[in-house]
Amino acid sequence: MKPIWADAMKAENIEEASRFLAHTEGNLFDPAVLAYPATKVLKTSDGNRNLVYMPVQQCQVWESLGINPEATELETAASLKALAQILRFMANADGQKEIYFLCSHELTQKFAERHGFERVTTPVFRMKL
Protein backbone atom coordinates (compact mmCIF):
# COMPACT_ATOMS: atom_id res chain seq x y z
CA MET A 1 0.00 0.00 0.00
CA LYS A 2 1.22 3.47 -0.87
CA PRO A 3 1.65 6.01 1.94
CA ILE A 4 -1.46 8.05 2.60
CA TRP A 5 -1.13 11.73 3.38
CA ALA A 6 -3.62 14.16 4.88
CA ASP A 7 -3.76 17.80 3.83
CA ALA A 8 -6.15 20.71 3.41
CA MET A 9 -8.46 20.43 0.42
CA LYS A 10 -7.78 22.83 -2.43
CA ALA A 11 -10.52 24.82 -4.16
CA GLU A 12 -10.11 22.73 -7.30
CA ASN A 13 -11.26 19.64 -5.36
CA ILE A 14 -14.66 20.99 -4.26
CA GLU A 15 -16.62 19.20 -7.00
CA GLU A 16 -14.97 15.85 -6.26
CA ALA A 17 -15.35 16.37 -2.50
CA SER A 18 -19.05 17.19 -2.88
CA ARG A 19 -19.58 14.06 -4.97
CA PHE A 20 -17.72 11.81 -2.50
CA LEU A 21 -19.55 13.32 0.48
CA ALA A 22 -22.98 13.01 -1.14
CA HIS A 23 -22.48 9.39 -2.16
CA THR A 24 -20.85 7.85 0.90
CA GLU A 25 -23.31 5.34 2.33
CA GLY A 26 -24.36 5.94 5.94
CA ASN A 27 -22.80 9.40 5.89
CA LEU A 28 -24.47 12.17 7.88
CA PHE A 29 -23.25 14.84 5.47
CA ASP A 30 -25.00 18.20 5.77
CA PRO A 31 -24.13 20.25 2.66
CA ALA A 32 -24.73 23.50 4.57
CA VAL A 33 -21.58 22.81 6.61
CA LEU A 34 -19.43 23.54 3.55
CA ALA A 35 -20.67 27.15 3.59
CA TYR A 36 -19.92 27.76 7.28
CA PRO A 37 -17.13 30.34 7.58
CA ALA A 38 -15.18 28.31 10.17
CA THR A 39 -15.35 24.99 8.28
CA LYS A 40 -12.15 23.51 6.92
CA VAL A 41 -12.12 20.52 4.56
CA LEU A 42 -9.36 17.97 4.85
CA LYS A 43 -8.51 15.28 2.33
CA THR A 44 -6.32 12.22 2.13
CA SER A 45 -4.39 11.15 -0.92
CA ASP A 46 -1.97 8.41 -1.92
CA GLY A 47 -0.24 10.82 -4.30
CA ASN A 48 -2.19 9.67 -7.36
CA ARG A 49 -5.78 9.92 -6.21
CA ASN A 50 -7.79 11.52 -3.45
CA LEU A 51 -9.28 8.99 -1.05
CA VAL A 52 -11.32 10.68 1.69
CA TYR A 53 -12.68 14.19 2.27
CA MET A 54 -13.71 15.35 5.73
CA PRO A 55 -15.34 18.69 6.50
CA VAL A 56 -14.31 19.80 9.98
CA GLN A 57 -16.42 22.48 11.54
CA GLN A 58 -15.56 24.47 14.59
CA CYS A 59 -18.46 24.80 16.96
CA GLN A 60 -19.26 25.48 20.55
CA VAL A 61 -19.99 22.59 22.86
CA TRP A 62 -21.77 23.66 26.02
CA GLU A 63 -20.41 21.08 28.38
CA SER A 64 -21.84 21.47 31.86
CA LEU A 65 -23.56 23.78 34.30
CA GLY A 66 -22.73 24.73 37.86
CA ILE A 67 -26.05 25.86 39.32
CA ASN A 68 -26.33 27.41 42.77
CA PRO A 69 -28.45 24.98 44.84
CA GLU A 70 -30.40 27.99 46.15
CA ALA A 71 -31.27 29.32 42.66
CA THR A 72 -34.91 29.02 41.66
CA GLU A 73 -35.96 27.35 38.40
CA LEU A 74 -36.88 30.80 37.06
CA GLU A 75 -33.44 32.22 37.96
CA THR A 76 -31.75 29.24 36.35
CA ALA A 77 -33.83 29.58 33.18
CA ALA A 78 -33.11 33.34 33.00
CA SER A 79 -29.41 32.62 33.49
CA LEU A 80 -29.40 30.02 30.72
CA LYS A 81 -31.15 32.47 28.41
CA ALA A 82 -28.54 35.16 29.15
CA LEU A 83 -25.70 32.69 28.58
CA ALA A 84 -27.31 31.49 25.33
CA GLN A 85 -27.49 35.05 24.00
CA ILE A 86 -23.83 35.83 24.57
CA LEU A 87 -22.66 32.41 23.38
CA ARG A 88 -24.70 32.75 20.16
CA PHE A 89 -23.07 36.14 19.62
CA MET A 90 -19.61 34.64 20.19
CA ALA A 91 -20.30 31.71 17.85
CA ASN A 92 -21.45 34.00 15.05
CA ALA A 93 -18.43 36.26 15.55
CA ASP A 94 -16.15 33.21 15.20
CA GLY A 95 -17.90 31.95 12.04
CA GLN A 96 -19.38 29.00 13.89
CA LYS A 97 -22.84 28.01 12.73
CA GLU A 98 -23.67 25.18 15.13
CA ILE A 99 -23.79 24.87 18.90
CA TYR A 100 -24.00 21.59 20.76
CA PHE A 101 -25.41 21.38 24.28
CA LEU A 102 -24.65 18.20 26.20
CA CYS A 103 -27.18 17.81 28.97
CA SER A 104 -28.89 14.99 30.82
CA HIS A 105 -30.97 16.99 33.31
CA GLU A 106 -34.64 16.97 32.26
CA LEU A 107 -35.33 20.66 32.97
CA THR A 108 -32.18 21.70 31.11
CA GLN A 109 -33.27 19.54 28.16
CA LYS A 110 -36.65 21.27 28.14
CA PHE A 111 -34.94 24.66 28.15
CA ALA A 112 -32.75 23.62 25.22
CA GLU A 113 -35.72 22.37 23.19
CA ARG A 114 -37.65 25.61 23.85
CA HIS A 115 -34.71 27.77 22.78
CA GLY A 116 -33.86 26.46 19.33
CA PHE A 117 -31.92 23.29 20.04
CA GLU A 118 -32.95 20.07 18.36
CA ARG A 119 -32.45 16.69 19.98
CA VAL A 120 -29.73 14.71 18.25
CA THR A 121 -30.14 10.96 18.41
CA THR A 122 -26.93 10.09 16.58
CA PRO A 123 -24.31 8.70 18.97
CA VAL A 124 -21.70 11.26 19.97
CA PHE A 125 -18.10 10.18 20.42
CA ARG A 126 -15.41 12.01 22.33
CA MET A 127 -11.64 11.77 22.36
CA LYS A 128 -9.88 13.37 25.29
CA LEU A 129 -6.38 14.57 24.46
5 contacts 44 by C-beta, under 8 angstroms: yes
Express each pLDDT in 69-102 by its tens digit: 999 999 999 999 999 999 999 999 999 999 999 9
Query: What SS3 state is found at 51?
Result: strand
What is the pTM for the complete model shown? 0.79
Could you tell me the residue ranges of all domains in the chain?
A: 5-56, 60-114
Q: Which of 25, 19, 28, 96 is nearest to 53 (CA)?
A: 19
Check pLDDT > 90 for residue 64.
no
Residue count of the chain, please give it: 129
Residue 1 clears pLDDT 90, i.e. is over it: no
What local confidence, expressed as pLDDT, does residue 27 receive?
Answer: 87
Q: Identify the DSSP state of 10.
A: P
> Looking at residue 26, what is its pLDDT?
86
